[in-house]
Amino acid sequence: MFDTMVITKAVAAFCGALLVFLLGNWAASAIYVPGSAGLEQAFSIDTGEDDADEEPAVELTFEEAFEVADASAGSRLWSQCRACHALEDGSNSVGPHLYGIVNREIASVDAFNYSGALSQAGDVWTPEILSEFLRNPNELTPGTSMSYRGMSDVQDRANLIAYMEAESQ
């Protein structure tokens, strides 16, 4: 079945296809690569990305961000919490109500079954502890049943805590 002629034809077909691809590459390079591709750039447009040598923006500490926190800006962030929590006193949902959460004792809502991980956070929900918890709940309280990925921006956390504090009054 495989004689010399069949093998010769197969090798010739492979070499012919390779030659067609190489010629196609040469033709495409001649057509689509401009003749000035190797020359120096005539001008450049400043996009501001080359400002890496300047000093980086200083990130606010939570205390500084909380001093200038805007509760109305925190109201739009509340939608992330609303899925599992309520701000009305005594109305628990998937999570406990957050009415009066600022400076309230941790895991103190009656008739809510907390995971034991919250005891690692401390005794009272101070704004600083709330901020750390909102930044990454699983880092502050490993094993918590709260499945929230966290909020990285310090100003957003401060605004949200200010909103919860304002709505609890």
Going from the C-alpha of 159 to that of each of 3, 33, 124, the distances in angstroms are 82, 53, 19
On the 0-12 / 13-18 / 19+ scale of CB atoms within 10 A, 85 is: buried
Asked if pLDDT for residue 137 goes beyond 60, the answer is yes
Q: 0.75 exceeded by the pTM?
A: no
The one-character DSSP state at 150 is -
Calculate ∠ Cα 122-123-129, nearest 5°: 50
Q: Mean of the pLDDT values across residues 121-138?
A: 90
Tens-digit pLDDT profile for residues 1-18: 678 999 999 999 999 999
Asked if pLDDT for residue 160 goes beyond 80, the answer is yes
Percentage of the chain beyond pLDDT 90 is: 40
For residue 131, what pLDDT band results from cuts at 50, 70 and 90? very high
**Arithmetic mean of pLDDT over the chain:** 87
Contact 127, 161 (CB under 8 A): yes
For residue 91, what pLDDT band results from cuts at 50, 70 and 90? confident
